[in-house]
Structure 1
Amino acid sequence: MKFIGVMSVRYIAIVSILFAGMDNAAASIADTGDYLTSQNYIIDGTQSTVTYNPGTISVDSNGSGGFSPSVTYNVSGTFTLNFNHFSWSNPSDWAQITNSAITANGLPSEFNLPSFFSELTNPVQFAGSDSPCSGPKTADTYCSGYQSGPSSTLSGQIQDGKITLSGYQPNGTYYWGGGYTYNIVATVVPVPAAFWLFATTLGFFGMWKRAKR
């Protein structure tokens, strides 16, 4: 009987790990009230763009010229969106992008989606920046900081399995307007049918064990 009990716990753990990448799945820490929900997205390359402003001045041999023009690229790729609830932070709910992989021919490799925490202003919208005092912190935290240039910014909205992201990311020539402005549209990565078959099999196995007891 003890052996069956241990096996059941292991099967529950396996199912919990597998569900961690699904919409509305959560890994809970019961004693703190903290939890994390993750979802993978794939970027729609036909609707997603990054505009790069070099922030440089080009002058020819005659002394004429001006600022280098901005270039817009269509981008594709994938990323993971995490929803974090921190019981020790006020506000408590934050979004964070991880595992981002951006593909675009000609776009400088320094660009990627930001990984800083953005505050969930309501269940389907979030916004944030990498300014020194942004991000989760305890109620009694005193924060002060200095930033010599502009912040990277991010805002997002989720609706019907689709997410839109927009923001700005400065580069080293930000004082001449240099940086990246992006507008990303992405959709939820579907869960493979094989996963559901596996999860159903585990559930059937558990019911069969209980019936035998």
Structure 2
Amino acid sequence: MDATSRPPSLAGLRRTYEGLPLMETDLASDPISQFAAWFGEAVDAGLPEPNAMIVATCSAGGRPTARTVLLKGYDENGFVFYTNYESRKGRDLAENPRASLLFPWHSIRRQVRVEGSVVRISRDESAAYFRSRPYGSQIGAWASRQSAVVGSREELDERYARLAARWPEEPPVPDFWGGYRVVPAEMEFWQGQLDRMHDRLRYRRSGGGWVIERLAP
């Protein structure tokens, strides 16, 4: 590799992190309430996509993959997102119904990590959300065989046009599309601090409740 083709240096990307201390006494008794508080603060801080999260899955053969999707709902039962069941993530979850979520709220020096089992939400819930989407997104769900190889952009656009002509008003809900709920077994709240002495507090499910543990940074 000659000098002109060297990748840019990472030295200029070094930074320090400084946030308010995160103490055990600051936390809610359950992780969903704590997430709600932090999510509200992320929204108030003006983050462009506070509900964007990285979803990591793993095939039965142990091959991991990750991608960014949007959180579409959460409550005491878990975190919901929607996708094509025949996509790469859908195939992984059929083989190995566990996932990890990561909310990377860089500008406020925070992140939240979730690990747990994954279940499909009810067909009625998926249909209700599908009906709430813009028409173009509904057609897009039909047009895209998510994760499959496409011959060209023109092929994809032609398929979209055909389906829009077939259903000019309201397409049916696809049977290959719907929601998943990640049911947390543990959740970690990370708050950046100076000198890499970050605060990491984890909720771990134990019996019918939660144990809170501090992790080394």
**Same fold by TM-score greater than 0.5:** no
- Taking structure 1 as the reference length, what is the TM-score of the superposition? 0.27
Q: Higher relative contact order at CA 8 Å, sep ≥6: structure 1 or structure 2?
A: 2
- Larger-Rg structure: 1
Structure with more of its chain in helix, by fraction: 2
- Taking structure 2 as the reference length, what is the TM-score of the superposition? 0.27
Structure with more of its chain in strand, by fraction: 1
